[in-house]
Amino acid sequence: MTIPPLSDRQKGRLTYLKLRRGLTLIEIAVVISILGLLMVIVGGTLRNLIIPSTEDIAVKLQESFKFAYNKSQLTNQSVVFRYNFQKAEYQFFLLKREEGGIEEEPILKKTTLPFYSKITKARDLAGKPISEGELKITFTPQGSTTDLFLYIGSDSEVKRTIQIYRYGGRIKIHKTDYFPDPEIDRPIKVSYGLDDRDEQVGPSAKNNR
Q: How confident is the model at residue 196 (pLDDT cuts 50, 70, 90)?
A: very low
pLDDT surpassing 70 at residue 200: no
pLDDT surpassing 50 at residue 195: no
Q: Are residues 118 and 206 in the same domain?
A: no
Q: Are residues 101 and 159 in the same domain?
A: yes
Contact in structure between 79 and 64 (CB atoms under 8 Å): no
- Compute the mean pLDDT over every residue in the chain, rounded to the nearest whole number: 80
Q: Are residues 167 and 190 in the same domain?
A: no
Q: Are residues 113 and 200 in the same domain?
A: no
Q: What is the DSSP string of 61-126?
A: HHHHHHHHHHHHHHHTS-EEEEEETTTTEEEEEEEEEETTEEEEEE-S--EE--TTSEEEEEEETT
Question: Between 64 and 108, where is the model more confident?
Answer: 64
Q: Are residues 114 and 44 in the same domain?
A: no
Which pLDDT score is estimated for 101? 83
Which pLDDT score is estimated for 44? 55
pLDDT surpassing 70 at residue 82: yes
Closest CA to 78 of 168, 142, 10: 142
Q: Are residues 100 and 29 in the same domain?
A: no
Q: Are residues 59 and 146 in the same domain?
A: yes
pLDDT, average across residues 82-101: 92
Indicate whether 8 belongs to any domain.
no
Indicate whether 98 belongs to any domain.
yes
pLDDT surpassing 90 at residue 81: yes
- Using DSSP, state whether 159 is helix, strand or coil: strand
User: What range defines the domain where residue 42 resides?
Assistant: 23-52
pLDDT, average across residues 61-73: 95
Q: Are residues 144 and 191 in the same domain?
A: no
For 131-179, write each residue's pLDDT tens digit: 999 999 999 999 999 999 999 999 999 999 999 999 999 999 999 999 9
Indicate whether 148 belongs to any domain.
yes
Distance separating alpha carbons of residues 113 and 7, to the nearest angstrom:
75
Give the whole-number percent of the chain exceeding pLDDT 70: 69
Q: Are residues 97 and 155 in the same domain?
A: yes
